[in-house]
Structure 1
Amino acid sequence: MELKYAKSNDLDNYLYFCIYGKGTATVTFMRKSKSGITKIVKLNEWAYLPIKLNQIDPSCKLKIEPKDANLIYYCNLFEQNIILKTGKHILGRECSAISEVDIKLKMYERNELTKDEWLDSLVFPEIYKIVHVQAREGELEIDFPLYEVPILYEQRQIKYPCMKIDDLVDNVVEAKHKKLARGGIERFGPFDRDLIPNAKIRNELMKIINYPLIQDLDEHEQNLIWRFRYFLKKNKQAMPKFLKCVIWKDHLEVKQALELMRMWDPIDMEDLLELFSSRISAVRNYAVEQLSRFNDEELELFLPQLVQAMKFESEDEIKSNQLVHYFIQRAAINLRISNYLFWALKSGGQNKYFRSVLAYLIINLTQHEEGRFHCDILERQSKLILQLNNLVSKIKSIRLVRVKKVEWLRSYIEDPANELNNFKPIPFPLDPNFLINGINHETASIFKSSLAPLMLEFKTVSGYRYPVMFKLGDDLRQDQLVVQLIHLMDRILKNENLDLKFTVYKVLSTGDREGMMEFIPSKTLANILAEYNGNLQNYLKSLHPCDDPETFNIEPTILETYIKSCAGYCIVTYLLGVGDRHLENLLLTSQGNLFHVDFGFILGKDPKPFPPPMKLCKEMVEAMGGQSSFHYVQFKSYCYLAFSILRKRSNLILNIFNLMLDSGIQDISLDKEFILERLHEKFRLDLSEEEAMNFIENTIQESVKALFPQMMEKIHQWAQYWRR
Structure 2
Amino acid sequence: MDRQTVEDVHWLLENWGAPESLDLAVALELLSLDFIDHKVRRLAVRRLDCLSNDEVLKYLLQLVQTKPDLSLCRSHAQSKRIGHFFFWYVRSEVLGCLFFRQRMAVLLEAYLLGCGHGMLDTLRQQVLFINFSLLQHIPKILSWVKIWTLCDVSRWSSPEEALWFMLNVLILKCVLVFQLEKCKIMASKKKPLWLEFCPAPSPTSTAPVGVIFKHGDDLRQDMLVIQTLVLMDSIWQDKSLDLNLIPYGCIATGHNIGMIETVRDAVTIAAIQKSRGGSAGAFKEDALFDWLKSKCPLQEITVETFVKSCAGYCVATYVLGIGDRHNDNIMITDKGNLFHIDFGHILGNWKRVLGVNRERVPFVLTPDFLYIMGRVKHRNSLYFDHFQVRQDICMQAYLSLRSQSHLLITLFSIMLLTGMRELSSAEDMRYLREVLQEGKSEEQARAHFLEQVHVCIKQGWQVQTNWWIHILMGIK
CA contact (8 A) 2:347 2:429 kept: no
1:334 corresponds, among 79, 82, 88, to 79
In the superposition, relative to structure 1, how do residues 679 and 373 fare at CA in structure 2: closer, same or farther (>3 Å)?
Answer: same
Aligned to 1:258: 10
Q: Contact 2:233/2:242 (CA < 8 Å) preserved in 1? A: yes
On the 8 A contact 2:129/2:174 being kept in 1, the answer is: no
Q: Provide TM-score, normalisation by structure 2.
A: 0.85
Q: In terms of mean alpha carbon deviation, does 519-528 or 372-381 score higher?
A: 372-381
SS state of the match for residue 579, structure 1?
Answer: coil
Q: Per chain length, whose mean CA-contact separation is higher, i.e. which structure has more relative contact order (CA < 8 Å, sep 6+)?
A: 2
SS in 2 for 1:300: helix
Instruction: Measure how far apart 1:358 and its partner are.
Output: 4.9
Q: What SS is found at the alignment partner of 1:394?
A: helix
Contact 2:49-2:73 at 8 Å conserved across structures: no
Deviation for aligned residue 1:253: 2.0
Tell me what 2:153 maps to. Answer: none
**In terms of mean alpha carbon deviation, does 501-510 or 685-694 score higher?**
685-694
Q: 1:410 touches 1:442 (CA, 8 Å); kept in 2?
A: no
CA distance in 2, matches of 1:441, 1:527: 22
Aligned-residue sequence identity (percent) comes to: 32
Q: Where does residue 372 of structure 1 map in the other structure?
A: 117
8 Å CA contact 2:178, 2:198 repeated in 1: yes
Residue 653 of structure 1 and its aligned partner are, at CA, apart by 0.6
One-letter amino acid matched to 1:297: D
Q: Secondary structure of the equivalent of 2:138? A: helix
Match of 2:369 in 1: 620
**1:617-674 alpha-carbon deviations (Å, 9 max, x no partner):** 11111111114112111111111110111110001110001100111111112xx121
C-alpha distance in structure 2 between counterparts of 1:363 and 1:668, whole Å: 28
Amino acid in structure 2 at the alignment position of 1:557? I
- 1:518 matched to 2:261? The reply is yes
* Cα separation, partners in 2 of 1:655 and 1:586, compared to 1, 3 Å: same
Residues 99-120 of structure 1: CA deviation (Å, up to 9, x unaligned) = xxxxxxxxxxxxxxxxxxxxxx
Q: Which residue of 1 aligns with 2:102?
A: 356
Unaligned runs of 5+ in 1: 1-248, 311-320, 425-436, 547-553
Read off the aligned partner of 1:699 and give its amino acid letter: Q
From 28, 34, 42, the equivalent of 1:285 is: 42
| Residue pair 1:479, 1:599 contacting (<8 A) in 2 also | yes
User: Which residue in the other structure is 1:487 paired with?
Assistant: 230
Quick check: 1:389 aligned with 2:136?
Answer: yes
Question: 346, 356, 373: which is aligned to 2:91?
Answer: 346
CA displacement 1:438-460 (0-9 Å, x = unmatched): 54445322212343322222433
- 1:185 aligned residue: none
Return the offset for 1:592.
Answer: 0.6
Task: For 2:427 and 2:110, locate their aligned partners in 1 and report how far apart those are by CA, in whole Å.
Answer: 39
Q: Distance in 2 between matches of 1:288 and 1:560?
A: 42
TM-score, with structure 1 as normaliser: 0.57
Where 1:477 maps in the other structure, the secondary structure is helix
Cα drift, residue 305 of structure 1: 0.5
Q: Deviations over 1:481-514 (max 9, x none)?
A: 1111111100100011000111110110111110
Q: Which residue of 1 aligns with 2:281?
A: none
Greater percentage in strand = 1
Match status 1:456 vs 2:195: yes
The amino acid across from 1:512 in the alignment is H
CA RMSD of aligned residues (A): 2.5
Please report how far the alpha carbon of residue 308 of structure 1 lies from its aligned counterpart in structure 2 after TM superposition. Answer: 0.8
The match for 1:115 is none
Contact 1:478 1:600 in 2 (8 A): yes
Local SS of the residue matching 1:503: coil
Give 2:65's match in structure 1, choosing from 296, 305, 308: 308
* 1:122-176 deviation per Cα after TM superposition (whole angstroms, max 9, x unaligned): xxxxxxxxxxxxxxxxxxxxxxxxxxxxxxxxxxxxxxxxxxxxxxxxxxxxxxx
| Residue pairs, 1:420-439, within 5 angstroms | 420-421=171-172, 423=174, 437-439=176-178
Matches of 2:275 and 2:116, distance apart in 1 = 53
Are 1:395 and 1:452, in contact at CA under 8 Å, matched by a contact in 2?
no
Distance change in 2, residues 1:540/1:375 (3 Å): same
Q: 1:578 to 1:377 in 2, by over 3 A?
A: same
* Aligned residue runs from structure 1 range 492-503, under 5 A: 492-503=235-246
Range moving further from structure 2, 286-295 or 520-529: 286-295
Give the 3 Å change call, closer, same or farther, for CA 492–344 of structure 1 in structure 2: same
8 A contact 1:455–1:468 mirrored in 2: yes
Unaligned runs of 5+ in 2: 151-156, 278-283
State the alpha-carbon separation in 2 of the partners of residues 284 and 458 from structure 1: 45
Cα distance in 1 for residues equivalent to 2:231 and 2:308: 17
In the alignment, which residue of structure 2 is the partner of 1:19?
none
- Relative distance call for 1:366 and 1:484 in structure 2 (3 A) is closer
| Partner Cα distance (1:593, 1:623) in 2 | 12
Q: Deviations over 1:276-296 (max 9, x none)?
A: 012323212332233221121
- Judge conservation of contact 1:421–1:440 (CA < 8 Å) in 2: no
Letter in 1 for 2:434: E
Rounded Cα–Cα distance in structure 1 between residues aligned with 2:87 and 2:159 = 33
Task: Answer with 378-387 or 639-648: which moved more.
Answer: 378-387
Kept in 1, the 8 Å contact 2:49–2:75? The answer is no
> Partners of 1:366 and 1:648 in 2: how far apart?
39
Change (3 A) 1:684 1:361: closer
How far does residue 406 in structure 1 lie from its aligned partner after superposition? Answer: 4.1
Distance 2:261 2:472 in 1: 29
Quote the residue 2:25 is aligned against: 270
Structure 2 counterpart SS, 1:309: coil
**Contact between 1:365 and 1:371, CA under 8 Å: does it hold in 2?**
no
Are the aligned partners of 2:48 and 2:73 in contact in 1 as well (CA < 8 Å)?
no
Whole-Å separation in 1 of the counterparts to 2:46 and 2:143: 48
| 1:345-386 Cα shifts (integer Å, max 9, x gaps) | 121123356543454345445555x52322222222112112
Distance in 2, Cα, partners of 1:361 & 1:653: 26
Q: Which has the larger radius of gyration?
A: 1
